[in-house]
Amino acid sequence: MSSLAVEHKAINLGQGFPDYPMNEKLISLVEQYMKSGHNQYVHMNGLPALRNVVADKVNGLYQHQIDPEKEITITPGGTYAIYTALTTVLQPGDEVIVFEPAYDSYIPNIEINGATPILIPLVYPDYKIDWNEVRKKISPKTRMIMINSPHNPSGSVLGKEDIKQLQNIVTGTDIFILSDEVYEHLIFDDLQHESILRYPDLLERSFVCFSFGKVYHCTGWKLGYCIAPAALMNEFRKVHQFNCFTCNSPMQFALADFLNHKESYLALGSFLQKKRDYFINIMGQTKFKPLPSHGSYFQLYSYEGISDESEKELAIRLTKDFGVATIPTSAFYKNSKDDKVLRFCFAKKESTLEAAVERLSKF
Ligand SMILES: Cc1ncc(COP(=O)(O)O)c(C=O)c1O
């Protein structure tokens, strides 16, 4: 959809990236570290100073002390952390429970390891997990359950009750958990992010993945990290060592400094909640109907009763004829489930959102 957006000069509310500038101070820190000669390989597991501040952050947010030496690895982005975690534990024939719609890398990453994704649809229109369905799909081959909260593309978030259900299901089994928490701060309406890092009994079997790109409005930096108990992280690093080995040095130095500015991540939820509310408010001028979204920077809209076109057909037509690119939610299903829902990214300047809505109101 992004290529189509470029081709038709459409406003791109499809792909998830901010169009407003990132923090100037963080940019100047990178420059400072480059100029002062911090341009060579750093430690394979990530710059120790960065791992230390991440450990402090985790402790402050989730009241859990991780060991920065043994339990965290800096990675080139969240996607890489997810791939590496899957590759660490999966063997051909294993099954992995995946909730759909799902971030697009999950299924290929499972399949490339010879494992089978066991697909469970989130319940439309709230995109909640049907835990009874999960119980039915568990088998002796279940190696892992993948969760993602706040969720891309739906913006749904897991609550305490979901955590309880997950605990009931995995207790007494060898099932691993992969928790994709790249949108940890993008949570709204006074909800608490139920990080796996808050639950020691779950963390002992989990890989928890994060992205600096999502936190600091710099998706193109492709830097993130994975947290896991020492024994699991030890195996994770065996995959990491011969794949990426070590990530971009000056950016790690800059982030190690910048993470001390806690307000820049603590204010993120309210910053994006305002954007969500503004977007929903002006979208009132269009025929689209918003679905509930409590996190991430995505908002789903239903066009049921407005058009019979498939999501893909409509997304293409909106891009070509109305100049606004979105993502058909069917793209997040292996078998293209079509609920007549499109995903919009609202991490944009107000002027971008206004221009898009003006075009969409003609639909
Ligand atoms: C759910 C989810 N996980 C992971 C990622 C990847 O993050 P990164 O850009 O750091 O690889 C994204 C990015 O869109 C995402 O939406």
SS3 labels along 299-337: EEEECCCCCCCCHHHHHHHHHHHHCEECEEHHHHCCCCC
- Candidate from 82, 151, 152 with most ligand 1 atoms within 8 A of CB, to mutate: 152
Ligand 1 pocket mutation pick from 2, 17, 74, 79 by most atoms within 8 angstroms of CB:
79
- Determine the Cα–Cα distance for residues 232 and 240; give it in Å rounded to an integer: 12
pLDDT at site 229: 98
Half-sphere exposure of 124 (CA within 13 A, CB side): 15
Query: Looking at ligand 1, which residue's alpha carbon is closest to its atom 16?
Result: 152
Whole-structure pTM value: 0.97
Residue 210: per-residue pLDDT: 98
- The helix (H) or strand (E) run that includes residue 75 is strand 72-75
| Spans in the chain with pLDDT lower than 70 | none
b/e map 328-344, b = 16+ CB within 10 Å: bbbbbbeeebebbbbbb
pLDDT at residue 82, as a whole number: 98
Helix (H) / strand (E) element for 117: namely strand 116-121
Q: What residue ranges line ligand 1, CB within 6 angstroms?
A: 16, 77-79, 103, 148, 152, 180, 182, 211, 213, 219, 222, 224
Coil vs helix vs strand at 347: coil
Q: Would you list the DSSP string of 208-252?
A: EEEEHHHHTT-GGG--EEEE--HHHHHHHHHHHHTTT-S--HHHH
Specify the ligand 1 atom closest to the Cα of 77: 10
**Closest ligand 1 atom to 80 CA:** 11
CA-81 nearest atom, ligand 1:
11
Q: What is the pLDDT of residue 349?
A: 96
Residue of the CA atom closest to atom 14 of ligand 1: 16
CB 265 within 8 Å of CB 215: yes
Collapsing DSSP to helix, strand or coil, 108 comes out as: helix
Atom of ligand 1 nearest to the CA of 82: 4
The pLDDT value recorded for residue 336 is 82
